[in-house]
């Protein structure tokens, strides 16, 4: 038996239509329209991601700057509160000698001037110039925002001698460091801390600190930056029974009627001066019972969410600024209390607090 095999049909026998049905259709690329659509979608997704990243980064920057400003504000408040608590302190060695007669005159001690500078003083809208004591080189030209100068004085305590033989006072200077090996020579040998706004070495405004001893005992040391970013520093003084730029009239009656030690108004530093009467000016300063501090702190460039113009009020707003009882807050009479910096993309924060003085500021009267 013969077996025959059949050969497969040749392509020519199937025809063109059959070949097209057998072979799958292949895609060799994208059309121009498809490519442009894909690129447009990719670009939109990329732009959205970049925008979200920028917003998130700005948010983190603002939060970080705000946190730093709050920390700086708390540090300033804590430090100044402590300095205010020391102000007017008298060393116990001298207090025993000076024993004040109730309602009468003080017993004068050797080496004590009859009319010393007040323990709390200041200058309105001014900057400090290096010198030997507080009255040196004060200028009417302020650095950044018509800021003020604030000066604290106190007589260091002599508490104990530590293991290294250094005398510890338990007190601090305006730089926050402890004052040691400071035994007062006499009643005039008081420690001085000066606070004001200046430009630090990095060309940024800062709350500056200059401290040392009185002019007769070494003078004040060179200033150094204490808190960076403080571009406005305002000070008001809570006083008891003072009329601006007028000598205080001695009260009659009981001691309580003379001085209740409660502030009845806040004054600027320039409202203490009595023209042609230095003794009356010093007497007015000795009636300071509290100090109100207002500051504007700024963060780095780019830390603000927007770049719009803003106005800051270190003491808040007030209905009047005439020197009437309780009215000395934001006032056109004190340029720094209404502060409008140039928009620069920096986050800013206002810090306001009040220091109540512990010690009698009237010693020496």
For residue 263, pLDDT over 70 is answered with yes
96-to-85, 90, 99, 236, 365 alpha-carbon distances in Å: 21, 10, 6, 33, 16
pTM of the model: 0.76
Mean pLDDT in residue range 210-218: 70
Q: Quick one: pLDDT at residue 75?
A: 93
Q: Determine the pLDDT at residue 362.
A: 65
Q: Which tokens belong to 157?
A: 């305590």
Beta-ladder partners of 195: 150, 209
220, 193 contact by CB (below 8 A): no
Looking only at the bridges linking them, the beta strands covering 149-154 and 120-123 are antiparallel
Q: Which has the minimum average pLDDT: 13-22, 53-62, 233-242?
A: 13-22
Of 6-20, 108-122, 347-361, give the lowest mean pLDDT range.
6-20
Q: For residue 346, which of 317, 310, 293 has the smallest C-alpha distance?
A: 310
pLDDT band at residue 328, thresholds of 50, 70 and 90?
low
Mean of pLDDT values over 135-162? 68
In the chain, which residue ranges form alpha helices assigned H by DSSP? 11-14, 16-22, 32-86, 92-98, 255-258, 278-285
Per the prediction, the chain carries an average pLDDT of 77
SS3 state of residue 180:
strand
* 141-147-149-150 Cα dihedral, nearest 10 degrees: 170
- For residues 158 and 243, is the Cβ–Cβ distance under 8 A? no
Percent share of the chain, pLDDT over 90: 19
Alpha carbons 85 and 113: distance in angstroms, whole number:
24
Joined together, the tokens standing for residue 363 give 């010693």
Look at residue 288 in the predicted model and tell me its pLDDT: 92
Q: Are 76 and 227 in contact (CB under 8 A)?
A: yes
- Separation CA 131–CA 31 (nearest Å): 82
**Residue among 150, 156, 146 nearest 134 (CA):** 150
b/e code 89-110 from CB counts within 10 Å (16+ = b): bbbeebeeeeeeeeeeeeeeee
Q: 36-40, 154-158, 303-307: which has the highest mean pLDDT?
A: 36-40
What's the pLDDT at 298?
92
CA distance linking residue 223 with residue 208, whole number of Å: 6
Predicted confidence (pLDDT) at residue 226 exceeds the cutoff of 50: yes
Instruction: Output the furthest CA–CA distance in the chain (Å, rounded).
Output: 155
Residue from 310, 120, 177, 131 nearest 232 by CA: 310
Tokens at 314, concatenated: 């270190």
Q: Which of 17-31, 93-107, 304-318 bottoms out in mean pLDDT, i.e. has the lowest?
A: 93-107
CB atoms within 10 A of CB 318: 16
Task: Say what the pLDDT of residue 1 is.
Answer: 56
Residue 180 near residue 169 (C-beta atoms within 8 A): yes
For residue 105, the model assigns a pLDDT of 44
Coil, strand or helix: which one is 200? coil
């Amino acid at each position: 038996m013969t077996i025959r095999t059949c050969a497969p049909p040749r392509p020519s026998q199937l025809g063109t239509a059959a070949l097209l049905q057998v072979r799958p259709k292949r895609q060799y690329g994208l059309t121009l329209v498809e490519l442009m659509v894909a690129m447009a979608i990719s670009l939109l997704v990329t732009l959205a991601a970049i925008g979200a990243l920028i917003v998130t980064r700005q948010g983190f920057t603002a939060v970080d700057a705000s946190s730093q400003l709050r920390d700086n504000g708390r540090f300033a408040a804590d430090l100044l509160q402590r300095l205010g608590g020391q102000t007017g302190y008298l060393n116990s060695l001298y207090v025993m000698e000076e024993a004040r007669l109730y309602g009468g005159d003080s017993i004068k001690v050797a080496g004590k001037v009859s009319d010393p500078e007040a323990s709390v003083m200041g200058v309105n809208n001014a900057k400090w110039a290096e010198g030997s004591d507080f009255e040196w080189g004060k200028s009417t030209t302020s650095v950044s925002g018509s800021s003020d100068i604030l000066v604290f004085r106190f007589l260091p305590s002599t508490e104990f001698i530590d293991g290294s033989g250094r005398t510890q006072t338990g007190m601090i200077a305006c730089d926050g460091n402890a004052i040691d090996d400071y035994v007062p020579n006499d009643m005039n040998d008081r420690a001085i801390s000066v606070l004001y706004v200046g430009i630090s070495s990095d060309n940024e405004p800062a709350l500056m600190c200059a401290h040392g001893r009185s002019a007769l005992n070494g003078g004040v040391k060179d200033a150094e930056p204490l808190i960076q970013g403080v571009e406005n520093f305002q000070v008001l003084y809570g006083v008891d029974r003072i009329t601006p730029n007028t000598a205080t009239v001695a009260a009659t009656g009981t001691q309580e009627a003379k001085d209740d030690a409660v502030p009845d108004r806040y004054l600027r530093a320039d409202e203490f001066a009595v023209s042609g009467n230095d003794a009356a000016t010093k007497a007015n300063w000795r009636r300071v019972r509290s100090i109100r501090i207002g500051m504007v702190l700024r963060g780095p460039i780019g830390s603000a969410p927007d770049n719009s113009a803003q106005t800051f009020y270190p003491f808040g707003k007030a209905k009047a600024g005439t020197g009437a009882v309780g009215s000395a807050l934001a006032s056109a009479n004190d340029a720094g209390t209404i502060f409008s910096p140039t928009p620069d993309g920096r986050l800013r924060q206002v810090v306001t607090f009040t220091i109540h003085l512990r010690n009698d500021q009237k010693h020496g009267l």
